[in-house]
Protein backbone atom coordinates (compact mmCIF):
# COMPACT_ATOMS: atom_id res chain seq x y z
CA UNK A 1 0.00 0.00 0.00
CA UNK A 2 2.78 2.46 0.89
CA UNK A 3 4.28 2.45 -2.59
CA UNK A 4 0.83 3.16 -4.04
CA UNK A 5 0.40 6.09 -1.64
CA UNK A 6 3.82 7.50 -2.55
CA UNK A 7 2.99 7.29 -6.24
CA UNK A 8 -0.53 8.69 -5.89
CA UNK A 9 0.51 11.71 -3.81
CA UNK A 10 3.56 12.27 -6.05
CA UNK A 11 6.02 12.17 -3.18
CA UNK A 12 8.99 11.03 -5.24
CA UNK A 13 11.16 7.91 -5.04
CA UNK A 14 11.10 6.16 -1.68
CA UNK A 15 14.55 5.98 -0.05
CA UNK A 16 13.94 3.56 2.83
CA UNK A 17 11.37 1.06 4.10
CA UNK A 18 8.31 2.68 5.64
CA UNK A 19 8.39 2.69 9.46
CA UNK A 20 5.18 1.99 11.37
CA UNK A 21 4.53 4.63 14.05
CA UNK A 22 3.20 3.12 17.31
CA UNK A 23 0.64 4.62 19.63
CA UNK A 24 -2.30 5.67 17.45
CA UNK A 25 -5.65 5.33 19.23
CA UNK A 26 -7.87 5.60 16.17
CA UNK A 27 -5.81 5.17 12.97
CA UNK A 28 -2.58 3.66 11.59
CA UNK A 29 0.47 5.73 10.66
CA UNK A 30 3.78 5.22 8.89
CA UNK A 31 6.80 7.45 8.41
CA UNK A 32 7.89 7.45 4.78
CA UNK A 33 11.13 9.03 3.54
CA UNK A 34 11.40 9.91 -0.15
CA UNK A 35 13.68 12.03 -2.28
CA UNK A 36 11.34 15.01 -1.74
CA UNK A 37 11.20 14.78 2.06
CA UNK A 38 9.82 12.91 5.06
CA UNK A 39 6.08 12.26 5.36
CA UNK A 40 3.46 10.93 7.76
CA UNK A 41 1.08 8.56 5.96
CA UNK A 42 -2.13 7.89 7.85
CA UNK A 43 -4.54 5.05 7.09
CA UNK A 44 -7.96 5.98 8.41
CA UNK A 45 -9.58 3.28 10.57
CA UNK A 46 -11.99 4.66 13.17
CA UNK A 47 -15.51 5.50 11.94
CA UNK A 48 -14.69 5.01 8.25
CA UNK A 49 -17.96 3.12 7.80
CA UNK A 50 -20.02 6.17 8.73
CA UNK A 51 -21.79 7.70 5.71
CA UNK A 52 -20.62 11.22 6.63
CA UNK A 53 -16.99 10.26 7.33
CA UNK A 54 -15.41 11.53 4.11
CA UNK A 55 -17.42 14.78 4.13
CA UNK A 56 -16.42 15.42 7.75
CA UNK A 57 -12.71 14.84 7.09
CA UNK A 58 -12.77 17.07 4.02
CA UNK A 59 -14.54 19.85 5.97
CA UNK A 60 -11.90 19.54 8.68
CA UNK A 61 -9.20 19.69 6.01
CA UNK A 62 -10.44 23.08 4.79
CA UNK A 63 -10.11 24.46 8.33
CA UNK A 64 -6.66 22.89 8.62
CA UNK A 65 -5.52 24.47 5.35
CA UNK A 66 -6.77 27.91 6.39
CA UNK A 67 -4.97 27.60 9.72
CA UNK A 68 -1.74 26.64 7.97
CA UNK A 69 -2.10 29.55 5.55
CA UNK A 70 -2.77 31.83 8.53
CA UNK A 71 0.56 30.96 10.15
CA UNK A 72 -0.55 28.49 12.82
CA UNK A 73 2.48 26.30 13.71
CA UNK A 74 1.70 22.84 12.31
CA UNK A 75 2.97 20.27 9.80
CA UNK A 76 2.12 21.07 6.19
CA UNK A 77 -0.85 19.03 4.95
CA UNK A 78 -0.24 17.39 1.57
CA UNK A 79 -3.09 17.95 -0.87
CA UNK A 80 -4.50 14.92 -2.70
CA UNK A 81 -3.56 15.78 -6.29
CA UNK A 82 -6.73 14.66 -8.07
CA UNK A 83 -9.51 16.12 -5.89
CA UNK A 84 -7.54 18.87 -4.17
CA UNK A 85 -8.80 17.49 -0.85
CA UNK A 86 -7.29 15.40 1.92
CA UNK A 87 -8.24 11.77 1.30
CA UNK A 88 -7.27 9.25 -1.36
CA UNK A 89 -8.76 5.78 -1.78
CA UNK A 90 -5.81 3.41 -2.16
CA UNK A 91 -7.12 -0.10 -2.71
CA UNK A 92 -9.78 -0.40 -0.03
CA UNK A 93 -8.14 2.09 2.36
CA UNK A 94 -8.66 5.82 2.83
CA UNK A 95 -5.32 7.56 3.44
CA UNK A 96 -3.97 11.06 3.88
CA UNK A 97 -0.48 12.57 4.06
CA UNK A 98 1.37 15.32 5.96
CA UNK A 99 4.95 16.46 6.05
CA UNK A 100 6.72 14.74 8.92
CA UNK A 101 7.64 16.83 11.97
CA UNK A 102 10.37 15.57 14.29
CA UNK A 103 9.79 16.01 18.00
CA UNK A 104 12.50 17.42 20.26
CA UNK A 105 13.10 16.74 23.98
CA UNK A 106 11.26 18.78 26.55
CA UNK A 107 7.76 18.98 27.94
CA UNK A 108 5.16 21.28 26.43
CA UNK A 109 3.82 23.71 29.02
CA UNK A 110 0.17 24.56 29.51
CA UNK A 111 0.96 28.23 28.84
CA UNK A 112 2.49 27.34 25.46
CA UNK A 113 -0.58 25.32 24.55
CA UNK A 114 -2.96 28.12 25.50
CA UNK A 115 -0.92 30.50 23.37
CA UNK A 116 -1.14 28.03 20.48
CA UNK A 117 -4.91 27.83 20.95
CA UNK A 118 -5.07 31.62 20.83
CA UNK A 119 -3.27 31.63 17.48
CA UNK A 120 -5.70 29.04 16.11
CA UNK A 121 -8.70 31.07 17.26
CA UNK A 122 -7.22 34.27 15.85
CA UNK A 123 -7.51 32.88 12.30
CA UNK A 124 -10.66 30.84 12.93
CA UNK A 125 -13.29 33.36 11.89
CA UNK A 126 -15.08 34.12 15.15
CA UNK A 127 -18.82 34.79 14.81
CA UNK A 128 -22.05 34.41 16.76
CA UNK A 129 -23.61 31.04 15.98
CA UNK A 130 -26.53 28.91 17.08
CA UNK A 131 -25.79 26.18 19.59
CA UNK A 132 -24.95 22.93 17.84
CA UNK A 133 -25.42 19.30 18.75
CA UNK A 134 -27.66 17.45 21.12
CA UNK A 135 -27.39 16.52 24.77
CA UNK A 136 -25.09 13.68 25.81
CA UNK A 137 -27.15 10.86 27.32
CA UNK A 138 -25.24 10.22 30.54
CA UNK A 139 -27.70 8.16 32.60
CA UNK A 140 -25.89 4.84 32.08
CA UNK A 141 -22.81 6.10 33.95
CA UNK A 142 -24.13 6.76 37.44
CA UNK A 143 -25.69 9.60 39.36
CA UNK A 144 -22.56 11.71 39.91
CA UNK A 145 -21.80 11.88 36.18
CA UNK A 146 -25.47 12.42 35.31
CA UNK A 147 -25.76 15.33 37.73
CA UNK A 148 -22.62 16.87 36.24
CA UNK A 149 -23.95 16.50 32.68
CA UNK A 150 -27.25 18.14 33.63
CA UNK A 151 -25.46 20.99 35.42
CA UNK A 152 -23.25 21.92 32.46
CA UNK A 153 -26.12 21.65 29.97
CA UNK A 154 -28.44 24.08 31.74
CA UNK A 155 -28.31 27.82 31.16
CA UNK A 156 -26.20 28.00 27.99
CA UNK A 157 -27.10 30.92 25.69
CA UNK A 158 -28.95 30.14 22.48
CA UNK A 159 -26.16 31.86 20.50
CA UNK A 160 -22.48 31.52 21.32
CA UNK A 161 -19.26 33.01 19.99
CA UNK A 162 -18.06 30.24 17.68
CA UNK A 163 -14.76 29.70 15.89
CA UNK A 164 -13.32 27.18 13.43
CA UNK A 165 -10.70 25.35 15.45
CA UNK A 166 -8.72 22.18 16.09
CA UNK A 167 -11.18 20.73 18.68
CA UNK A 168 -8.77 18.03 19.94
CA UNK A 169 -5.74 19.91 21.27
CA UNK A 170 -4.83 17.41 23.97
CA UNK A 171 -1.38 16.06 24.87
CA UNK A 172 -1.19 13.56 22.02
CA UNK A 173 -1.85 16.30 19.45
CA UNK A 174 0.71 18.92 20.48
CA UNK A 175 4.33 18.35 19.52
CA UNK A 176 7.48 20.18 20.56
CA UNK A 177 9.75 20.71 17.57
CA UNK A 178 12.83 22.75 16.83
CA UNK A 179 10.46 25.48 15.60
CA UNK A 180 8.33 25.54 18.78
CA UNK A 181 5.06 23.78 19.63
CA UNK A 182 2.97 22.42 16.75
CA UNK A 183 -0.69 21.43 16.49
CA UNK A 184 -0.96 18.01 14.81
CA UNK A 185 -3.86 15.72 13.78
CA UNK A 186 -6.62 18.07 12.62
CA UNK A 187 -9.10 15.30 11.75
CA UNK A 188 -11.60 16.58 14.34
CA UNK A 189 -11.37 20.25 13.30
CA UNK A 190 -14.62 22.15 13.00
CA UNK A 191 -16.75 24.93 14.49
CA UNK A 192 -16.88 25.10 18.28
CA UNK A 193 -17.94 27.62 20.93
CA UNK A 194 -14.70 29.45 21.69
CA UNK A 195 -15.07 29.62 25.47
CA UNK A 196 -15.91 25.92 25.71
CA UNK A 197 -12.75 24.98 23.83
CA UNK A 198 -10.67 27.25 26.06
CA UNK A 199 -12.04 25.51 29.14
CA UNK A 200 -11.59 22.05 27.58
CA UNK A 201 -7.94 22.64 26.66
CA UNK A 202 -7.22 24.19 30.07
CA UNK A 203 -8.70 21.11 31.79
CA UNK A 204 -6.80 18.67 29.58
CA UNK A 205 -3.49 20.39 30.32
CA UNK A 206 -3.85 21.94 33.79
CA UNK A 207 -6.17 19.36 35.33
CA UNK A 208 -8.45 20.19 38.21
CA UNK A 209 -6.03 22.33 40.19
CA UNK A 210 -7.74 25.73 40.46
CA UNK A 211 -4.54 27.78 40.43
CA UNK A 212 -3.11 26.04 37.35
CA UNK A 213 -6.50 26.21 35.63
CA UNK A 214 -6.77 29.96 36.24
CA UNK A 215 -3.22 30.51 34.95
CA UNK A 216 -4.07 28.61 31.77
CA UNK A 217 -7.23 30.64 31.17
CA UNK A 218 -5.35 33.91 31.84
CA UNK A 219 -2.68 32.91 29.30
CA UNK A 220 -5.37 32.56 26.65
CA UNK A 221 -7.10 35.79 27.68
CA UNK A 222 -3.85 37.70 27.27
CA UNK A 223 -3.54 36.40 23.70
CA UNK A 224 -7.09 36.78 22.41
CA UNK A 225 -9.04 38.83 24.94
CA UNK A 226 -12.23 36.73 24.96
CA UNK A 227 -13.92 36.74 28.35
CA UNK A 228 -14.99 33.47 29.98
CA UNK A 229 -18.15 33.67 32.12
CA UNK A 230 -17.99 31.84 35.45
CA UNK A 231 -21.00 29.66 34.63
CA UNK A 232 -21.26 25.84 34.52
CA UNK A 233 -22.22 25.69 30.84
CA UNK A 234 -18.68 26.70 29.80
CA UNK A 235 -17.64 23.15 30.84
CA UNK A 236 -20.33 21.59 28.63
CA UNK A 237 -18.16 20.94 25.59
CA UNK A 238 -15.52 19.11 27.61
CA UNK A 239 -18.13 16.97 29.39
CA UNK A 240 -19.84 16.06 26.11
CA UNK A 241 -16.50 15.18 24.49
CA UNK A 242 -15.45 12.96 27.38
CA UNK A 243 -18.89 11.36 27.46
CA UNK A 244 -18.93 10.56 23.76
CA UNK A 245 -15.44 9.05 24.01
CA UNK A 246 -16.62 7.00 27.00
CA UNK A 247 -19.63 5.73 25.04
CA UNK A 248 -17.52 4.93 21.96
CA UNK A 249 -15.08 2.77 23.90
CA UNK A 250 -17.83 1.09 25.91
CA UNK A 251 -19.86 0.28 22.80
CA UNK A 252 -17.10 -0.62 20.32
CA UNK A 253 -13.87 -1.55 22.16
CA UNK A 254 -14.87 -2.92 25.56
CA UNK A 255 -13.57 -6.36 24.54
CA UNK A 256 -10.03 -4.94 24.26
CA UNK A 257 -7.62 -3.85 26.97
CA UNK A 258 -7.29 -0.44 25.32
CA UNK A 259 -11.06 0.05 25.30
CA UNK A 260 -11.41 -0.91 28.94
CA UNK A 261 -8.56 1.41 29.93
CA UNK A 262 -10.14 4.30 28.02
CA UNK A 263 -13.53 3.70 29.67
CA UNK A 264 -11.94 3.78 33.12
CA UNK A 265 -9.90 6.89 32.32
CA UNK A 266 -12.86 8.83 30.89
CA UNK A 267 -15.04 7.97 33.90
CA UNK A 268 -12.27 9.13 36.24
CA UNK A 269 -11.94 12.43 34.37
CA UNK A 270 -15.67 13.10 34.50
CA UNK A 271 -15.81 12.28 38.20
CA UNK A 272 -12.79 14.52 38.76
CA UNK A 273 -14.64 17.47 37.27
CA UNK A 274 -17.77 16.65 39.25
CA UNK A 275 -15.72 16.90 42.44
CA UNK A 276 -13.86 20.06 41.36
CA UNK A 277 -16.28 22.18 39.37
CA UNK A 278 -17.17 24.57 42.21
CA UNK A 279 -13.55 25.59 42.83
CA UNK A 280 -12.90 25.87 39.09
CA UNK A 281 -15.88 28.20 38.72
CA UNK A 282 -14.46 30.28 41.57
CA UNK A 283 -11.16 30.42 39.68
CA UNK A 284 -12.93 31.98 36.68
CA UNK A 285 -14.40 34.80 38.77
The dihedral sign for the CA sequence 66, 71, 76, 79: positive
Q: Which CATH architecture has domain 2-99?
A: 2-Layer Sandwich (3.30)
Alpha carbon distance 212, 74 (integer Å): 26
Reduced to 3 DSSP states, what percent helix, strand and coil does the chain have, rounded to the nearest 5?
45, 20, 35
Residue spans per domain, the chain: 2-99, 110-284
CA dihedral (75, 64, 2, 80) in degrees, to 10, reads -120
Torsion angles phi and psi, residue 44, rounded to 5:
-75, 135
CATH 3.40.718.10 for domain 110-284, yes or no, is no
Neighbouring C-beta atoms of residue 21, cutoff 10 Å = 14
Torsion angles phi and psi, residue 42, rounded to 5:
-115, 125
pLDDT digits (tens, 9 = 90+) for 161-205: 999 999 999 888 999 998 899 999 999 999 999 999 999 999 999
pLDDT digits (tens, 9 = 90+) for 47-83: 888 999 999 999 999 999 999 999 999 999 999 999 9
| pTM for the model | 0.88
Amino acid sequence: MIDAVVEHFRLGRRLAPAARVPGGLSNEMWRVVTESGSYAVKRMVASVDRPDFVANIEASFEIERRAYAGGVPMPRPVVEPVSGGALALIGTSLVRVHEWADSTPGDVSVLEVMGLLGRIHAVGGTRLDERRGGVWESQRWGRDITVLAELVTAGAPARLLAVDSHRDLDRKNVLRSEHGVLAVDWDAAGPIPAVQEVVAVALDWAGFDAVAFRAAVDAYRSTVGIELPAEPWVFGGWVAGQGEWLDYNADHRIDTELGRDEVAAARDRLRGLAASIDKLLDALR
